Chains A and B, each alone.
Chain A
Amino acid sequence: MPHNTHLLRPALGGLTALALAVPTAATAQQWETRAGDRNWGLDISLILEGVYYNEMSRGISDPAGFDDGHDHGHDHGNGHDHGFDDGFNLGHSELVFEANLGDLFDGVLMIGFDEDHVEVEEAYLTTRALPGGFQVKAGKFLSDIGYINSRHVHDWDFVDRPLVNEYLFGDHGLQETGVQATWLAPTETYIQLGVELLQGDNSFIPYQGGGGTHTTNAGDDIRSSFSDVSGPRLVTAFAKFGPDLGPDHAMQFGVSGGYANTWQEETEHGSGLEEWDGDAWFAGLDAVYKYSSGRAYGHGDWRLQGEYFYREIDVDYQRREDQTTIAGNAQGSGKARQDGLYIQGVYGFAPRWEAGLRSEALGLTNRGLPTNEGSERNFAEPSFGTSYRHSAQVTFRPVEPVFLRAQLSQNDFVDEDGDRDRGLEFMLQLNVALGAHGAHRF
């Protein structure tokens, strides 16, 4: 199976070299820190969150097609309730360190934690001194595809992540290690173009590599048919446009996509081994509109936001009972096609108070991975229905770094047999940013 990483790798090397060489050359120029400029130290902020969760009525825990028993990399632990227990939860808290090296680099380390996990969510360097409107980011970071993917809980308008982002990219969104290069055009209209070379190894772009073995109940050893593919295995690209609409209105449109040259997934059974081996791509659109009324404390402000993403996984499938025996008719290839969207609006109905609505659909197109499980003789991609969720929130912001949010969500998920059921959940979120938390992005 030939792979075209031989082109990607030099590009990656080149980008890195560029990122390192240019500022080094630039240090020959004189830069000085001016007295009183406090932007040169280490800024630390702590973002603490508490969530009170109540499942008022239980519906279907997972939308069909996105967690179809094969556990396609999706493990919510205790079903789909955001991992929240009924009652009080320490939500998703963060410790953020930001520092810089003169005006050459910004560094960010973001550690996310809840009651039982601590993980490095982001740790990256950003160049600040490249010429020509270029900027390079390297490390572990949230991809800039779409709109909400690169934003943290503290900047969201709802307690939870939109379904389309969660089920196509994971509990943290598309979070990868790699390199990003962006270019900002020198134009009146904001035009940003970016590409990312990413490792491509997470639960949503799974990679197994060669050399695995599975032992069946019958005692047969089955060697994995996957081959090693060196990273980066995922490349994304995005473009963002923001026209200048005067003091009251602001907009940003985005288009983004990605291609993973390796998509390897296996499921081990007592009776044998199922393997899917291929590649995948995704593409999406996003748009944000903000209206600023000019009144105090956000009174009369509007925010509208929506995103759509589509994903296709193109795989060869086989199910073996031992090293050489293909199970009955269980070999072939096919495509999984899935999508999702959300649209939300938030209005500042009084000073420091806002209310919002969000509607979501997941799996308007919803064909799963090819499998022969339905029938030994019938190999096909299963087709599933569409799941929906509707949420309403009210947020009170006594002071800018603190907010208290109540949210009611009705989920209307479909299961694998096509049955629908509705669930209702209530969440109360307290989110506080302490310390020197950085400026807010648009």
Chain B
Amino acid sequence: MSFSKTRTRITRTLAAVASVAALTFILLPAQAAAGLNIVATTSSLGALAREIGGDEAEVRVLAPPDRDAHYLDARPSFMAALRRADMLLELGAGLEEGWLPAAQRGANNRAINSGQPGHFRAADKVELRRSITMDGPNMGHVHEEGNPHFNADPLRMAELALALGQRMGELRPDHAEAFVQRAEAAAESLREHAEKLAERVEPDQRIVVYHEDLDYLEEWLPVEIVGYLEAAPGIPPTARHLRSLVDDLEGTEGTVLYAEFQPPRGAEFLERNLGWPTHAVPLDPPADSGLDGYLELMSTWAQALPQR
């Protein structure tokens, strides 16, 4: 028998392929160290990064703003983006845990590994509100560390901006000063805008939301969350649960807010039975937004409530 020829040929071919791959790797042009290549999981984080980075950063947002960032696929295109990134920004606290670790693992890029300076986990930088999922048994997804939807709070976003400017400066010391300055300016406009919007809203508003993704409105607007359309986080509204919500809220005034990607049926039920106005609002600014996009989103939230 003489397969040895074939074998030699195949082995040689493989050896050749391996050498070519190795050479390619050695000869690859080193990335220009000027601009920061940033990948952000959500467009709220992307908006901060664009504002702070200015011309020294290129920002790519993974999660489409009209989708639930809890449930995405770890797409090949995400891995390709992370492969070339100097920095990964995530909200953290479990929001992206269904897909981001797989995308990070598939990116073959140490710079954005957990624990590296290029990995910025926003939840580590701010105090989180307690999540309703932390108390009692529940079937849905659990936010063990606290409520991760703090992008609905411009005051926390202001804190994040400062921490992010600091971190970007550590990665690109040449631009550190500019980053920190722009971060401070961004934090300032976030706080001012939040104050201005809050003053215009009628005091003591009561709202019902779909998921605990708008709870952080309580932190900066004169509102109180009085119910959730979901029976439990991750579990769609049930007829019985909606019925009991209506019984609880009968005879009171308020507003129903839910995200554009959430089914409107529960909100419509409350509108019919309580006469409360309902609004489908975005949770994040458009994918390519800078800070202006986020400020506009804040206005959208505030103006969904009765104005003075």
Chain A residues packing against B (C-beta within 8 Å): 1-4, 7-8, 11, 26, 31-40, 102-103, 106, 126, 128-135, 182-193, 195, 235, 237, 240-245, 247, 250-252, 259, 261, 277-279, 290, 292, 294-298, 314, 316, 333, 351-352, 398-400, 438-442
Contact: B110 with A131, CB < 8 Å? yes
B29, chain A: closest CB distance, angstroms: 10
Given A4-B11, A31-B115, A135-B108, answer yes or no on A442-B73 (Cβ-Cβ < 8 Å): yes
B70, chain A: closest CB distance, angstroms: 9
Q: How large is the interface on B (under 10, 10 to 19, 20 to 34, 35 or more residues)?
A: 35 or more
Beyond A106-B105, A294-B66, 14 additional pairs, beta carbon < 8 A: A3-B7, A31-B115, A103-B110, A126-B105, A184-B80, A189-B77, A195-B18, A252-B76, A261-B7, A399-B141, A399-B234, A400-B71, A439-B74, A442-B102
Contact: B79 with A184, CB < 8 Å? yes
Q: Does B273 contact A (CB under 8 A)?
A: no
Given A277-B1, A295-B261, A352-B236, answer yes or no on A247-B64 (Cβ-Cβ < 8 Å): yes
Chain B residues packing against A (C-beta within 8 Å): 1, 3-4, 6-8, 10-12, 14-15, 17-18, 21, 25, 28, 31, 64, 66-68, 71, 73-77, 79-80, 83-84, 92, 97-103, 105-110, 113-116, 121, 123-124, 139-141, 145, 234-236, 261-263
Partner of A184, one of B64, B83, B99, B263: B83
A36, chain B: closest CB distance, angstroms: 4
Partner of B80, one of A32, A189, A441: A189
| Chain A neighbourhood of B106, CB < 8 A | 184, 192, 441
**The 9 nearest A-B residue pairs measured at CB:** A242-B76, A190-B76, A247-B64, A244-B77, A103-B113, A439-B102, A190-B80, A439-B101, A184-B108
12 A-B interface contacts by CB (under 8 A): A33-B115, A38-B145, A183-B108, A185-B83, A189-B77, A250-B73, A296-B68, A296-B261, A333-B1, A399-B235, A439-B101, A440-B98
Contact: B74 with A279, CB < 8 Å? no
With A and B bound together, what is the CA distance between A130 and B7 in angstroms?
Answer: 31
Contact: B263 with A11, CB < 8 Å? no
| Chain B neighbourhood of A351, CB < 8 A | 236, 263
B156, chain A: closest CB distance, angstroms: 15
With A and B bound together, what is the CA distance between A388 and B139 in angstroms?
Answer: 40
Partner of A190, one of B64, B77, B110, B123: B77
Contact: A292 with B76, CB < 8 Å? no
B149, chain A: closest CB distance, angstroms: 16
Contact: B102 with A37, CB < 8 Å? no
With A and B bound together, what is the CA distance between A34 and B12 in angstroms?
Answer: 46
With A and B bound together, what is the CA distance between A135 and B262 in angstroms?
Answer: 39
Partner of A243, one of B17, B68, B77, B110: B77
Contact: B101 with A438, CB < 8 Å? yes
| Chain A neighbourhood of B84, CB < 8 A | 186
With A and B bound together, what is the CA distance between A235 and B97 in angstroms?
Answer: 34
With A and B bound together, what is the CA distance between A26 and B4 in angstroms?
Answer: 41
| Chain B neighbourhood of A333, CB < 8 A | 1
With A and B bound together, what is the CA distance between A64 and B25 in angstroms?
Answer: 47
Contact: B15 with A296, CB < 8 Å? no
Given A7-B11, A34-B121, A316-B1, answer yes or no on A440-B76 (Cβ-Cβ < 8 Å): no
Given A103-B115, A190-B76, answer yes or no on A292-B18 (Cβ-Cβ < 8 Å): no
With A and B bound together, what is the CA distance between A190 and B97 in angstroms?
Answer: 22
Contact: B3 with A34, CB < 8 Å? no
Contact: A296 with B102, CB < 8 Å? no
Contact: B64 with A195, CB < 8 Å? no
| Chain A neighbourhood of B80, CB < 8 A | 184, 187-191, 242, 244
With A and B bound together, what is the CA distance between A192 and B71 in angstroms?
Answer: 24
With A and B bound together, what is the CA distance between A250 and B81 in angstroms?
Answer: 14
Interface centre among A26, A244, A278 (most CB of B within 10 A): A244
Given A398-B139, A439-B100, answer yes or no on A235-B14 (Cβ-Cβ < 8 Å): yes
With A and B bound together, what is the CA distance between A184 and B3 in angstroms?
Answer: 33
With A and B bound together, what is the CA distance between A441 and B72 in angstroms?
Answer: 10
| Chain A neighbourhood of B67, CB < 8 A | 247, 292, 294
Interface centre among B76, B79, B121 (most CB of A within 10 A): B76
Partner of A37, one of B25, B83, B100, B115: B115
B140, chain A: closest CB distance, angstroms: 6
Nearest-neighbor residue (CB-CB) of A23 within chain B: B110
Given A184-B83, A244-B80, A261-B7, answer yes or no on A32-B108 (Cβ-Cβ < 8 Å): no
With A and B bound together, what is the CA distance between A2 and B77 in angstroms?
Answer: 44
Partner of B145, one of A36, A259, A441: A36
| Chain A neighbourhood of B75, CB < 8 A | 242, 250, 442
Interface centre among B8, B108, B139 (most CB of A within 10 A): B108
Nearest-neighbor residue (CB-CB) of A30 within chain B: B117
